Chain A
């Protein structure tokens, strides 16, 4: 009897140990921002904990994220696809296991007064870009290539991450921007009469021209060899949290308030979001299709726009715009064609000077939900 009790206790202890969350950092880029809401939902909604992870988020420069994952100082990181290709060509054996952004987030913003319906009309114009690196530069190269142009046909101005300011000062004709964020800022300035002669902006996105692999989660090859289950559980948890953020943006924004200090809010706005989130949960319980959920987001945006000032809604609208870049039937999935398109872009940029090896080794869909076992 005593042995049986001891054995039961041991079993309980072991089971507690086996589900105890392991401390994991997920390395992100940029700064805490509403665009990272799926990760906040993953933490506050218990998705990561359920998968066995006690997650903390850290924000670093993209190359630092990649190197720390490559040398095993962190298990999970979020970087853009081109960084994976560049880093693999320089001997970093990392593997991309979950495509977070299904559409490339970069595009070209220009004054609506300009007619750039044909991109080849960019010729001779001054185009601002953060610098000749990263997703922005890949985006510019792709846009120029798709228009039959090269860098020599335009005047590239490196402006750092100051596109709205420099654009509104009139120093450039167009700017390479993140389509979910900066056009909103420029538009708001223009509507406030604070953007020189610019009355409104139009955007042509890279995704409308070519499907390039975008931001996603990476792990090291060693982790896949030693703990493939960890990659599977993390991809599953991220997928579930991402789906919740996509389906219930009001809830995702409220969760983000716990993690992002300067998110605009007011008592009325928060109360409205709480009510909207509850309504959305009830709506989702009826298993609506993707189109109906997309319409519900649009309805929410319109309802909020009628009640609140634009400045209060900016970051919520950034979230809604970003959701359009995440949305897919199968979250996390990336295909070889988008990787090949990215490699071609990097080749055009003259950035691929190492041995990349087989491009198919750079990513896998093996750990996505539905691929268990």
Chain B
């Protein structure tokens, strides 16, 4: 009796320790942010770096409040978000389609890889001005810039994910007379989804870069424009606000995809457990 009570107590203690560990793990990013904020405060308080280059957090907070109050931050953020959304849709869509085709027909890889690698190995800033000329000065050129930058990780992960599907399972499906669509829906898509979603996580953060590069090259609206405009007006706190907003958007999008991944792959966790 005493033995079982001791075991139960040990289990409770272990669970409590594990819960505490989880809480600490969850709080650690917050602690990192707080630490960075403290270092920033310390640097600006002692003017170790000129406030022209590193403004005090209070000034950045005031600029944030102003940009929020006059609606400019929201307006520019929505522009960037819109370009990112359509760019992701286009780039991920094309990346999935071509990636799947290459995975199923390796000859396509030989045909397409020189173009794809050449396109990917050239920095986006080098040909972004050309995209502006080809697709005009409106949002289309920014959407295409975003699509181009998110295309490659999607493509690579799609190829890797689809090719990683077990040939034995494919044989089983075929022996059961499964059609192409059934194989895709019931086997390839679920089996490749961990790699596909990992690619989508990378693409979601790259989408911010794509949209902002487009906005830098042809600044009209969006957070890239806000940075350029603030920089040209020597409003360093507003530059910080814009950059931090971009970071927040990228993190939020990454977290959103991670959440989708967690939800969608619950079957996998269960099977692994």
Contacts and interface: CB of A to CB of B under 8 A. Distances in A.
Interface string B33-56: 000000000000000001111000
B259 to A, nearest CB: 37
Interface in B199-255: 217-220, 225, 228-229, 231-236
B126 interface: no
B137 interface: yes
Interface residues of A, number: 27
Nearest to A353: B233
Given A63-B234, A166-B137, A158 B218 contact: yes
B232 A67 contact: no
A70 interface: yes
Interface stretch (A128-136, A239-247, A295-303): A128-136
B159 interface: no
B93 interface: no
A132 B229 contact: yes
B52 A70 contact: yes
Contacts of A165: 133
Most buried by B among A86, A89, A131, A157: A131
A274 to B, nearest CB: 36
B83 to A, nearest CB: 15
Interface string A156-181: 01111010011001010000000000
Contacts of B232: 62-63, 86, 133-134
A133 B220 CA distance: 11
B217 A160 contact: yes
Most buried by B among A90, A160, A162, A171: A160
A158 B136 contact: no
A66 interface: yes
B228 A162 contact: no
Interface of A: 61-63, 66-67, 70-71, 86-87, 89-92, 131-134, 157-160, 162, 165-166, 169, 171, 351
29 contacts: A63-B232, A63-B234, A67-B234, A70-B52, A71-B52, A86-B232, A86-B234, A87-B234, A89-B234, A90-B233, A90-B236, A92-B52, A92-B234, A132-B219, A132-B229, A133-B228, A134-B232, A157-B137, A159-B137, A160-B132, A160-B137, A160-B217, A160-B219, A162-B132, A162-B133, A166-B133, A171-B136, A171-B137, A351-B233
Q: Considering the complex of A and B, which 4 residue pairs feature the smallest CB-CB distances, nearest first?
A: A133-B232, A90-B234, A71-B50, A160-B218
